[in-house]
Amino acid sequence: VPDAWAKKAWPSMLPLSGWIKNFSDRLFQIEEWLLNPEEIPKVTWISGLVNPTSFLTAICQVTAQKNQWELDRLVTFTRVTKFMSPDEVDAKPRDGAYITGLKLEGASWEDGSLQKSKPKEMYCDMPIIHVKAVTKEKANVGGMYGCPVYMTRSRGPTHYFNAQLKTASPPARWTLAGVALLGET
């Protein structure tokens, strides 16, 4: 990707051909949203947003207004669904939003929880994830790993939130293994 483009674009480690395909997919998502700006899509490709943190904040803001709660008492909470494709989703969720476009690095997702990664498998496609806002008290649930979510595999400054993923193992196992969700691989 030419430096002049990279300076004005979202964080990306893709080669030019992949970057152009990604750009085209992002434009398609934005055009779909522009056709009906009042309606949140059934499933949002979160990796295709330039600033996904704003989308997650909006989920919290809508919940705060709807329930007349203080915004600073809310956090995002995730639940992994069984849907692998947006086509499988019949309707948008009552609260929050369905997101797609994340891959798991350092582990695999099987039978509804984190599992040891399979040999020679760097990334595991994640099912659609339901993100909603809950109070901080309700977010403290056992048996969950607070998985960091990054825009790119370079991690670091591209972190934008932590997703709660079910695990039978202690969460420290996944922390030590460097398990993370990535928007771009």
Give exposure, 135-161, as e/b (b: 16+ Cβ within 10 Å).
Answer: eeeebeeeebbebbbbbbbeeeebebb
Separation between Cα atoms, residue 168 and residue 153, nearest integer Å: 26
**What distance lies between CA 27 and its chain's CA centroid?**
19
Separation between Cα atoms, residue 80 and residue 94, nearest integer Å: 16
> Could you read off the pLDDT of 9-43 as tens digits, one per residue?
888 888 899 889 989 998 998 898 889 888 778 99
Mean pLDDT for the stretch of residues 104-111: 96
> Could you read off the pLDDT of 52-74 as tens digits, one per residue?
999 999 999 999 999 999 999 99
Q: CB-based burial of residue 79 (10 Å sphere; 0-12 exposed, 13-18 middle, 19+ buried)?
A: middle
Q: CB-based burial of residue 39 (10 Å sphere; 0-12 exposed, 13-18 middle, 19+ buried)?
A: exposed
The pLDDT, as a whole number, for residue 129 is: 97
Rounded percentage of the chain residues whose pLDDT exceeds 70 = 100
Q: Flag whether pLDDT at 51 surpasses 80.
A: yes
Separation between Cα atoms, residue 141 and residue 138, nearest integer Å: 7
Q: Which residues, in sequence order, are CB contacts of 69 under 8 Å at separation 6+? A: 63, 135
> Could you read off the pLDDT of 119-173 as tens digits, one per residue?
999 999 999 999 999 998 888 788 999 999 999 989 989 999 999 999 999 999 9
Helix (H) or strand (E) holding 151: none
